[in-house]
């Protein structure tokens, strides 16, 4: 039985763990010595406190994922995993025996292009999802022709949720990925990765007025489209939770290397509306020049382990 009680009202369809997923994804490696300013959204700023664990660095990542099949439909995702954090331990042993890590990875920032996954990700695994608008310069590799040639360079841009295509708002995150042309893809299975991929997520903090907004949306019969990313409609989705969660993503994929070139990330350009630094994405995040381009990925986010302090 879960330690997390179900809310009385769900503003969007409920989809519990586990989640089998299909996606194309791009992995940008990081190695950060300290947390940058703005690493958390304003709603999750309390996670900076020592009671939520201390940042210990190590290998981190920025992940861009284009889900083609999930329990809640397709959507896009941008994830920031700064590295490892210490995990606060319960003052008394949990009622159900589980192994709680002393140190684990943490998703600090995450954006998605769909409302249903925002709500369920927070409730299922304490993943602090928020809405954003995504732009890709080309379709996924699997949706293109069956040519033996490698895919073309891909430019990814992620914008604040209130922006619209063609307006003057600049992206808060942008990069261009160039897949390696002459080195073939190899199969990748996270079961054989020699480092821990376990993530330990603190309880999510509810947006003020979330319960009332969820009730109002439910009473309206789910009239808001799942892909309506207006920021004004996010409050109902920003549900809070009461327990810590541990979850490990399992994945198999075909992977090849790619060159990574980071864009300006909202620093401003002539004719463009500047994005407030640190509001949507932290300052000073510099991935390595080399990343991974992963095609035909099969993922699973399982039922989490749960504990309270």
Please report, rounded to a whole number, the percentage of residues in the chain having pLDDT higher than 70.
Answer: 93
Task: Give 298's contacts (C-beta < 8 A, 6+ positions apart).
Answer: 20, 21, 22, 251, 252, 253
In the predicted model, what is the mean pLDDT of the chain? 92
- Rounded to two decimals, the pTM is 0.94
pLDDT value of position 194: 78
Q: What is the pLDDT of residues 262-289, one digit of tens each?
A: 996 655 444 456 667 679 999 889 999 9
Task: State the pLDDT confidence band at 225, using cuts at 50, 70 and 90.
Answer: very high
Dihedral angle at the C-alpha atoms of 108, 139, 28, 231, nearest 10 degrees? -20
CA angle, residues 236, 47, 9, in degrees to nearest 5: 20
pLDDT value of position 270: 44
**More confident: 93 or 43:** 43
pLDDT value of position 274: 62
Into which CATH architecture does domain 19-307 fall? Beta Barrel (2.40)
């Amino acid at each position: 039985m879960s330690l997390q009680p179900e809310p009385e009202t769900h503003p969007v369809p409920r989809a519990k763990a586990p989640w089998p997923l299909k996606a194309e994804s791009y992995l940008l490696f990081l190695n950060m010595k300290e947390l940058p300013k703005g690493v958390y959204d304003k709603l999750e700023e309390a996670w900076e406190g020592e009671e939520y664990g201390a940042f210990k660095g190590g290998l981190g990542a920025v992940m861009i994922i284009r889900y083609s099949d999930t329990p809640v439909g397709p959507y896009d995702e941008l994830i920031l995993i700064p590295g490892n954090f210490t995990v606060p331990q319960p003052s008394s042993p949990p009622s159900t025996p589980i192994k709680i890590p002393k140190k684990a990875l943490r998703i600090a920032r995450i954006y998605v292009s769909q409302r249903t996954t925002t709500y369920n990700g927070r409730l299922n695994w304490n993943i602090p999802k928020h809405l954003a608008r995504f732009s890709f310069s080309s379709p996924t590799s699997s949706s293109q022709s069956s040519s033996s040639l490698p895919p073309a360079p891909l430019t990814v841009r992620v914008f604040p949720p209130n922006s619209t295509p063609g307006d003057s708002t600049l992206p808060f995150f942008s990069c261009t990925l160039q897949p390696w042309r002459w080195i073939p893809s190899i199969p990748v299975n996270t079961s054989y990765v020699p480092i821990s991929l376990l993530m330990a997520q603190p309880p999510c903090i509810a947006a003020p007025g979330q319960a009332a907004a969820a009730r109002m949306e439910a009473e309206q019969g789910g009239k808001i489209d799942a892909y309506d990313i207006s920021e004004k409609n996010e409050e109902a989705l920003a549900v809070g939770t009461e327990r810590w969660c541990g979850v490990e993503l399992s994945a198999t994929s075909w992977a090849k290397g790619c060159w990574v070139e980071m864009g300006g990330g909202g620093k401003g350009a002539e004719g463009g509306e500047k994005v407030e630094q640190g509001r949507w994405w932290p300052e000073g995040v510099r991935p390595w020049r080399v990343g991974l381009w992963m095609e035909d990925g099969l993922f699973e986010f399982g039922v989490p382990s749960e504990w309270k302090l």
